[in-house]
Chain A
Amino acid sequence: DTEVTQTPKHLVMGMTNKKSLKCEQHMGHRAMYWYKQKAKKPPELMFVYSYEKLSINESVPSRFSPECPNSSLLNLHLHALQPEDSALYLCASSQDQGVSTADTQYFGPGTRLTVL
């Protein structure tokens, strides 16, 4: 069983809505990640938090706003999304970003987002 949980599993929202995706890990990891995955494509990195600080933002539009309240929690706040933002959003965590090449990312089950 995964030790990275994500809620909700599914989300349908309109373009004017504000919603949040939540991710939680209980492995004591200090790095957490958000990925976006379109159908039949590999995951694309969006954000990385290391020790609760944003360390990578892959030029993601400001309608996506990440937040890391503590080392176990990661949120992704969504506002004024477009239909093309519909995708699977995956959260991952790892022991310590980049300390070694063996730093393995463990993923949650994902949130399937549909923007109408």
Chain B
Amino acid sequence: AQKITQTQPGMFVQEKEAVTLDCTYDTSDQSYGLFWYKQPSSGEMIFLIYQGSYDEQNATEGRYSLNFQKARKSANLVISASQLGDSAMYFCAMREGWGNTPLVFGKGTRLSVIA
């Protein structure tokens, strides 16, 4: 079974609008971390935001916020005031527990921002 599910292969958003990228996860661990990365066409994976399973507040980093709903096992990324430079692939990822646990990625969502 997939541990990270991103159901939107592609999305379009108008410049200056907000957009939500969906991510659901599957784990039986109580302790885990959730990450979002941005990958422009140049290839570099850029870390955007982190949410820990015990964090009570939703994480925010500038125009990025993470809508964390633990009971629903969802960790959606919200980008406010979209810019043309936000056009990229976005990956949701999770690490479970501690120790030698790998970072597991979802399949990604391609976001296109339209002027």
Contacts and interface: CB of A to CB of B under 8 A. Distances in A.
Contact of B101 (A98, A102, A110): A98
A31 to B, nearest CB: 10
Contacts, number: 67
Q: How large is the interface on B (under 10, 10 to 19, 20 to 34, 35 or more residues)?
A: 20 to 34
Given A98-B101, A103-B95, A112 B43 contact: yes
A105 interface: yes
Interface string A73-116: 00000000000000010101000011111111111111010000
Given A42-B107, A106-B47, A101 B95 contact: yes
B101 to A, nearest CB: 6
A68 to B, nearest CB: 16
Interface stretch (B17-25, B29-37, B63-71, B72-80): B29-37
B11 interface: no
Nearest to A9: B43
Contacts of B107: 41-42
A101 to B, nearest CB: 3
Interface string A41-81: 11101001000000110100000000000000000000000
B13 to A, nearest CB: 20
A101 B53 contact: yes
A74 to B, nearest CB: 16
A103 B102 CA distance: 11
Nearest to B34: A101
Nearest to A33: B103
A110 B105 contact: no
Contacts of B52: 101-102
Interface of B: 31-33, 35, 37, 42-47, 50, 52-53, 91, 95-103, 105-108
- A-B pairs, top 9 by smallest CB distance, nearest first, are A101-B33, A42-B105, A107-B45, A110-B43, A109-B44, A98-B99, A45-B102, A88-B43, A101-B95
